Every structure is written in C-alpha cells, then in structure tokens.
C-alpha cells in the first residue's frame, strides 16, 4: 500500500518533520489547535506510520464509506457582505477572502449559506418583489435582485474567483408581504393562492443569480419555519404547509423550469424531528426533496441520526449556529463546536456544517432587529477594516481545509468514553485520509490509530483539536 503525503504547505515554506526512522512506512501531517490558543491550526512535526505493534485505540476502515461531504463554512449574510464590500480596502478584502476560501493560504471554506432577501443580519427589510400596501404581483413582473447587487453579488463573485468549488444554499426569512396572510414580512403564513407564485419566485431567484455567474446549489423553503414571532422577517410554515408547498408547487415548478437546485426541508432546530420525517417520508414530496436541514439552538445532535434512520436515502444538512458574547472562552467554545457541530453533525450523517455570520463588526453587527451579541467567524473593524479571527474560524478550518467536497466519511471506531477523546474520519477523492480528534479533557493523551496492517500514534494536548492528514 503506497502512503501518499498530502501537503497544504507552500513549497517556499517547508516545515519538515523529524528524520524518517527505518521502521517508518510513511508519514502523516498534523495540524493542531489548543484551547489556550498557543497553537492555532498550526502544522506540527510529521508522525510516522509503522507496522502494527500495539493494540490500536481506534480502527479506521476506508472501505466503509458513509455520507458524501458537500462542504464546511458559514452564511454570507447581507451584513457580512456589506462589511467585506464597503468597510475594507481592496487589498484587505483580497487578503481576507484568501484567508477564508483558499486551501493553501487559508482554511478553504467550501460551503456558504445566503439569505433570499432580508434576514436579521441585513441593512434593511426587503424581498425581491416588494409592492406598495394593498397591491400584489402574482406574475412577479417586478421581481429584481438589485438590492443584492449592492454587496452580496459582488462579494460572491470575488469569493468564486478565489474558490470556484464553493456550494451555495439559499434560505428565505420571508416571502414578499403581499403573499402572506397578514400582509407583513414579520409573522403570518403563506397564502394558499400564492403557493404557485412563490414557487416561481424561487425559480426566478435561481435564474437571476445564474445570470450573474452564481450557481445556487440548494434552497430551503423557509428559515426556522416554527419561529414566527421575531421582530425581523419570519413566517410560520407548519410541516403540513411545507409538504404541500414542495409537493404541489415548488417541486413541479423546478421540474418544469429544468432547475436542478436541491430542495432541502425544515431548516430549524434539533428538538423537532417529526417535521422533517413527515416530508422525507411522503412519496409525493420526497421525489423533489434532497433531504432536511437543522439548526442547533435547541435539542441534541443525535436528532439528525433519528431522521437519517427514518429515511437513509435522504441527505442531512447542518445549516446554522452562532457563537456570541454569552460564551467567550476560546477553549470551551472550541470543544463545544467539535462535540456538537463539526465532529457531532458529521458523525450523525450531516453532509455539511455551517455556522451563522461569516463576518460581523466590532459591535456584533450590523443587525436588523436580531441577535445583539452574535459573533462572526471573523470580526471586521468597521473603521480600520482589520480582521480578527475568532474561535469559529479555527473550528471550521480543522475540517474545511482538509476535508474537501466529494470526500466521504469513513468508518472509525469510537474511543472509550472515559478518554474524553472524540473522532471522525474522511477519505478525500484524491485518496488522502483525514482524521480529526478532539480532547476535551485537561490532560494530554496518546492514542493509536490502526488502518489495515499499519498504525500510528499521536499525543494530543489537553483541551485541543488535531487534524491528521496522510
């Protein structure tokens, strides 16, 4: 078996490991983040792969391939796009986008979520077809994405210039007010006579962005459909309504327009599983649905496995969680993100893992009546344009930089629960293997990894995360 060493280091800046010992059959590269921030996604000395000697702590089997990964990242909200586009110089912006999206010069973010119209992180309330009170536009004659051309479109184009392999998911916070029972962007439901018009609204959105050179890979019919009392755009969309909308309007509209964008159901918290299950198990709706999406503001990550087990043929997606001023300890946040979001969701069948705002300013904004102390993946100073990388940046990076789109999660046994070690493993399309291990305990621990007739060991510090690539 040939051992391939995959390098993410620039040729001009080699960091060679120790001399190869005679017993070594190959090398694995190591990237470490420690809770005390003394190491931040920093490359360590290579470790040797040797013939089996000891009882392995965990066993990998790359022949057992599980879900295909689509990417890791965050949301390019209106607020994030505005800061990147308007509060940074051209050189600052170029540097940041490389830091976020380049595999070699940054963390290789490979999946973005965007809001279809306004959200709680936009500069104002808007949709793509707003009408004066009392007027309607069922033919969508006034449909326009001009508002998004101010910041979102130009930033997306620059991102795709750095990383063409980024997948984009669109999620609406509200349809146009005239489509809703209460005539407002806040609250209400989708009027039954607007179902078909709203389906065409999605088609026009996908086509309008395609005309800008931006492919929308997936949509969800409604962000957080069970939360409709917010002071920002939102809508109540019970499971029966969403099922009906997908089965009778949205799915057929995509089909007749030749749109191959995925439709992903639910897009809300882990604490409710019957919503997603009712849609993916309905034959009429399921023919149009690629899977279901989840947020982490309530419930447990194991909910995703419950939904997977109900219909293993449908994909699972993790689409939103935010860090913020309520939790500022880097080490605690790093371990929570691993346990719940990155190792947690992928072990529970998620094909992606997305955080909320890609960037916010030093005042946790701009906000649109939403969370007042949320934290972006990076913080952009609105005066100087300087960038601070937050814990979320390193958490994403341990996956996005090494686990590329098209990779499959592969079988890896669990560590004994008493070790406080957790792991997940992947096989990339180029044959490279990635193992991410977290140590939530305070003491360093040595572990052994067995793959076929070979093994390696590594000693991970306490409160640390390591990505091992070979």
List the catalytic residue out of 320, 362, 392, 453.
320
Reported pTM: 0.91
- The Cα–Cα gap between 271 and 462 comes to 31
Residues 6+ apart with CB under 8 A from 99: 105, 106, 107, 378, 387, 389
Ramachandran angles phi, psi of 115, nearest 5°: -95, 135
- Half-sphere exposure in the Cβ direction for 313 (13 Å, CA): 8
List the catalytic residue out of 212, 224, 392, 453.
224
What's residue 18's pLDDT? 36
The alpha carbon dihedral of 58, 64, 67, 69 has a sign of positive
Is 392 a known active-site residue?
no
What's residue 12's pLDDT? 34
Sheet holding 359-361, edge to edge: 359-361, 378-380, 387-389
- The Cα–Cα gap between 215 and 106 comes to 23
End-to-end CA separation in angstroms for the chain:
13
* Residue ranges of domains in the chain: 68-406, 410-470
- The Cα–Cα gap between 105 and 41 comes to 12
What's residue 64's pLDDT? 98
What's residue 4's pLDDT? 36
448 vs 20, 27, 261, 445, 457, CA distance in Å? 19, 14, 42, 10, 4
Residues 6+ apart with CB under 8 A from 451: 59, 60, 61, 62, 433
- The Cα–Cα gap between 374 and 356 comes to 9
User: DSSP letters along 79-104, please?
Assistant: HHHHHHHHSS-HHHHHHHHHHHH-TT
Domain 68-406 classification at class level: alpha beta
Is 362 a known active-site residue?
no
User: Considering the domain 410-470, what is its CATH architecture?
Assistant: Sandwich (2.60)
What's residue 21's pLDDT? 39
What's residue 20's pLDDT? 34
- List average pLDDT for each run of 10 residues in the chain, which is 470 residues long: 36 34 77 97 93 70 98 98 98 98 97 98 98 98 98 98 97 98 98 98 98 98 98 98 98 98 98 98 97 98 98 98 97 98 98 98 98 98 98 98 98 92 98 98 94 94 98
């Amino acid at each position: 078996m040939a051992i391939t060493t995959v390098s993410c280091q620039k040729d001009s800046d080699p960091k060679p490991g120790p001399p190869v010992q005679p017993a070594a059959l190959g090398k694995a590269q190591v990237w470490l983040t420690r809770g005390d921030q003394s190491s931040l996604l920093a490359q360590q000395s290579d470790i040797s792969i040797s013939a089996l000697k000891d009882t392995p702590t965990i066993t990998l089997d790359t022949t057992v391939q599980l879900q295909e990964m689509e990417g890791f990242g965050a949301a390019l909200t209106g607020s994030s796009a505005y800061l990147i586009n308007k509060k940074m110089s051209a050189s600052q912006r170029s540097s940041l986008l490389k830091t976020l999206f380049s595999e070699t010069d940054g963390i290789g973010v490979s999946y973005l979520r965007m809001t279809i119209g306004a959200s709680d992180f936009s500069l104002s309330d808007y949709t793509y077809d707003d009408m004066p009170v009392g007027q309607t536009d069922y033919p969508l004659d006034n449909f326009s994405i001009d508002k998004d051309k101010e910041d979102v479109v130009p930033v997306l184009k620059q991102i795709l210039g750095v990383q063409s392999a980024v997948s984009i998911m669109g999620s609406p916070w509200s349809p146009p007010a005239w489509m809703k029972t209460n005539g407002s962007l806040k609250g209400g439901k989708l009027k039954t006579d607007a179902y078909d018009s709203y389906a065409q609204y999605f088609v026009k959105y996908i086509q309008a962005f395609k005309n800008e050179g931006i492919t929308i890979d997936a949509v969800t019919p409604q962000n957080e459909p069970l939360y409709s009392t917010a002071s920002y755009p939102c809508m109540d969309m019970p499971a029966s309504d969403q099922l009906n909308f997908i089965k009778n309007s949205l799915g057929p509209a995509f089909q007749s327009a030749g749109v191959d964008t995925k439709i992903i159901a639910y897009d809300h918290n882990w604490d409710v599983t019957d919503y997603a299950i009712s849609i993916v198990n309905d034959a009429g709706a399921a023919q149009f649905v690629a899977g279901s999406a989840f947020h982490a503001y309530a419930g447990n990550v194991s909910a995703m496995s419950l939904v997977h087990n109900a219909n293993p043929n449908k994909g699972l997606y993790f689409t939103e969680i935010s860090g913020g001023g309520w939790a500022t300890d880097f080490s605690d946040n790093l371990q929570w993100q691993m346990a719940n979001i990155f190792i947690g969701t992928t072990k529970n069948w998620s094909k992606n893992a997305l955080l909320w705002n890609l960037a916010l300013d030093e005042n946790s904004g701009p906000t649109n009546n939403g969370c007042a102390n949320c934290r972006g993946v990076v913080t952009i100073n609105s005066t100087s344009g300087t960038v601070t990388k937050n814990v979320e940046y390193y958490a994403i990076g341990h996956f996005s930089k090494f686990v590329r789109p098209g990779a499959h999660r592969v079988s890896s046994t669990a560590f004994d629960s008493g070790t406080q070690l957790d792991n997940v493993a992947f096989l990339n399309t180029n044959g490279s293997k990635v193992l991410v291990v977290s140590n939530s305990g305070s003491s360093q621990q040595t572990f052994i990894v067995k793959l076929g007739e070979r093994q390696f060991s590594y000693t991970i510090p306490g409160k640390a995360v390591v990505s091992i690539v070979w």
